[in-house]
Amino acid sequence: MEKELRMFKALSQETRFRIIHILVKSRKALCICEIMDALNKLEYDISRSLNILKNAGLVKTGRCGKVKLFEMKDDTEFDKCVKTFFMTMKPEKNSILEKDLKLLKKRLSLRVNNRCVITYK
């Protein structure tokens, strides 16, 4: 039960909730700069939130060259339930979640060959 409590606690903060929302809805691994632009947050805030989500077991990382990518895990039944919740959730019109998705769509259009090529320094 400890693991599940840690996961729910990680999701209880707005920025982390928004990160999981865009990771699930995008169905892609995202780099930190894409997440920053979608949520309009600083690197420090996103990095710290991703670290908490990773430690809670909700997010996994990978690499594409030098770029570190983040995506929602789906290894366990709990992961799949969380993913299903976010996939079926319909953001209200003009809500912050809807704005996040619009900004993410715009940011993902900058990819070349489905790879992030514009990163932060």
Can you tell me the distance from the alpha carbon of 69 to that of 60, in angstroms, rounded to the nearest whole number?
8
| DSSP code at position 75 | S
User: Lowest mean pLDDT: which of 27-31, 34-38, 77-81?
Assistant: 77-81
Count the alpha carbons within 13 Å of 56 in the hemisphere toward its beta carbon.
25
**Which CATH number is correct for 2-104, 2.60.40.60, 1.10.1070.11, 2.60.450.10, 1.10.10.10?**
1.10.10.10
Instruction: Work out the percent of the chain whose per-residue pLDDT is above 90.
Output: 65
The vertex-22 CA angle with 20 and 27, nearest 5°, equals: 100
Answer whether residue 121 shows pLDDT above 70: no
Can you tell me the distance from the alpha carbon of 48 to that of 19, in angstroms, rounded to the nearest whole number?
12
Reported as a single tens digit per residue, the pLDDT across 61-110 is 999 888 899 999 988 888 888 899 999 988 888 899 999 999 999 999 99
Question: Taking all residues of the chain, what is their mean pLDDT, rounded to a whole number?
Answer: 91
Q: Which residue has the higher pLDDT, 25 or 4?
A: 25
Chain centre to alpha carbon of residue 92: 19
Can you tell me the distance from the alpha carbon of 50 to that of 56, in angstroms, rounded to the nearest whole number?
10
With b for 16 or more beta-carbon neighbours within 10 A and e for fewer, the 82-98 pattern comes to bbeebeeeeeeeeeebe
